[in-house]
Amino acid sequence: MGVLDLGFPLWLLSGVLVVFALLLYYMLGGRVSEWLRVPLAIVLAPVCTVAAVAVAVVLSALLSPFYETPTDSPTQQPKTQPATTPATVPLETTGPTASPSPTASPTASPTASPSASATASP
């Protein structure tokens, strides 16, 4: 048989049910007969507990947006796009055109290459 896991201790649920049953027993006094008061308190205690939990969940869902940090803050800076290489545009010439060579031209690399320096630092 599996363990009943409600997300809170079972003694807390029992305590809440007993408190609701006692409150209902007190509130039903004088309204219904004595022999009907105990069964009504026993039956209505879980119903009132479920109703109280439902009201708490609805209120929590309605009020939670007021306590969350806004996702669209106006002070947020726009995201920058990575720099793209400009498209190569062929130059217009007046003379005969040469076919492009199949070899790629070397480009400057932004990384530093380790090299020995000829100057000595004091």
The distance of Cα 92 from the centroid of its chain, to the nearest Å, equals 56
Tell me if 41 is assigned to some domain: yes
Structure tokens at 87: 């498209």
Which residue range(s) make up the domain with 27? 10-67
- Name the helix (H) or strand (E) containing 56: helix 34-67
Task: Determine the pLDDT at residue 21.
Answer: 93
Interacting residues of 48 by C-beta distance below 8 A, sequence separation 6+: 20, 24
Tell me if 94 is assigned to some domain: no
Q: Residue 13, class by beta-carbon neighbours within 10 Å (0-12 exposed, 13-18 middle, 19+ buried)?
A: middle
**E-state strands within 12-104:** none
Tell me if 4 is assigned to some domain: no
Tell me if 57 is assigned to some domain: yes
Task: Determine the pLDDT at residue 44.
Answer: 92
Give pLDDT < 50 ranges for the chain.
Answer: none
Residue 29 DSSP label: B
The SS3 of residue 32 is strand
Tell me if 62 is assigned to some domain: yes
Number of CB atoms found within 10 A of residue 89's CB: 6
Tell me if 32 is assigned to some domain: yes
Question: How many domains does the chain contain in total?
Answer: 1
Tell me if 50 is assigned to some domain: yes
Query: How far is 37 from 27, CA to CA, in rounded Å?
Result: 10
Task: Determine the pLDDT at residue 41.
Answer: 92
Tell me if 115 is assigned to some domain: no
